Amino acid sequence: MDSMIRSRSKGLQSAALGLLVLLLLLASYPAEPLYAQTYPDPGHGFYGAVRVNGRDAAVGTVVSAQVAGVQHGRWTVTDPGQYALVVQGDIAEGATIDFYVDDQKADQTHSFHDGLTTPLDLTAPAAPGDDDPLPPPPPWWPPGFPYFNDCFIATAAYGTPTAEEIDVLREFRDVVLLESAAGSRFVALYYLFSPPAAEVISRSDLLRTIVRELVVDPVVRMARATGHLWRD
């Protein structure tokens, strides 16, 4: 009997201790009513096409939004020519949003309205020194195939369209591949299938490393090693 009483006494003590701990935890929270709590504003979403110097913005292009000189949104292009970003923060309703594409001010602006989503296509000039026009395709370019000046997979692999290795690849393409019908067909197929592949690669550090070290870098080394044969 005594052991039963002692057991029940210990159980009551444990329960009382647990209740005390619970009360202490509840007391540690501020007594703030639910309606007084603040939540982050949803912001103003924007999406659409983004073009630089009349061409689709390449993978790795940075689109940003500023209000009164302060950045309130940023997006790195993963799908060529497309962007989507949210502008949020301590922004007055109706304030003017300026958009920038790789630090070049876009032609478009928009007023801020919290909670809205707005389709907005952006156009911007090329950065100084990068405003060379897209050359016309060679006469044997396959009809109906897209024609670009970008190296999508290499840009995704290096994380930037301005890597020195990409300049080597562009030169090899222009001087060697585009000078023949067979080479032009190869490049046309590349432009057809590489943008979606580049989008997948750009989203994974592991894939970027694998593609860069096992695919792109060997091609760049080959082009450099044989440059004395195909350069003027």
Tokens representing 45 are: 């979403």
On whether residue 38 sits in a domain, the answer given is no
**What's the mean pLDDT in 171-178?**
89
Residues 92 and 163 occupy one common structural domain: no
Instruction: Give CA–CA dist 232/229, Å, rounded.
Output: 8
**Cα 32 off chain centre by:** 39
Condensed to tens digits (0 to 9), the pLDDT of residues 131-158 reads 555 667 778 778 877 777 778 888 888 8
Helices (H), 29-146: none
In a shared domain, residues 12 and 60: no
218 shares a domain with 169 = yes
Name residue 147's beta-bridge partners. Answer: none
**Segments forming the whole domain that contains residue 20:** 2-31
Same domain, 26 and 66: no
- Per residue in 179-206, pLDDT tens? 888 988 898 888 888 888 888 888 888 9
Query: Is 95 a domain residue?
Result: yes
Tracing tokens 């032009």 back to the chain, one arrives at 184
**How does residue 55 score in pLDDT terms, banded at 50, 70 and 90?**
confident
Q: What percent helix, strand, coil does the chain show, rounded to 5?
A: 45, 20, 35
**CA–CA–CA angle 39, 45, 50 (5° rounding):** 150
What is the number of domains present in the chain?
Answer: 3
CATH code, domain carrying 100: 2.60.40.10
Same domain, 55 and 116: yes
DSSP secondary structure letter of residue 212: I
Q: 48: closest CA among 94, 110, 91?
A: 110
Q: What is the DSSP string of 6-32?
A: HHHHHHHHHHHHHHHHHHHHHHHS---
Which tens digits make up the pLDDT trace of 37-46?
Answer: 444 578 999 9
Sheet with strand 104-111: strands edge to edge:
70-76, 62-67, 96-101, 104-111
The better pLDDT of the pair 183, 128 is held by 183
User: Is the residue at 61 inside a domain?
Assistant: yes
Tokens of 89: 């923060």
In a domain, 69, yes or no: yes
156 shares its domain with 206: yes
pTM above 0.85, yes or no: no
From 108, 117, 216, 112, select the one nearest 160 (Cα to Cα).
216
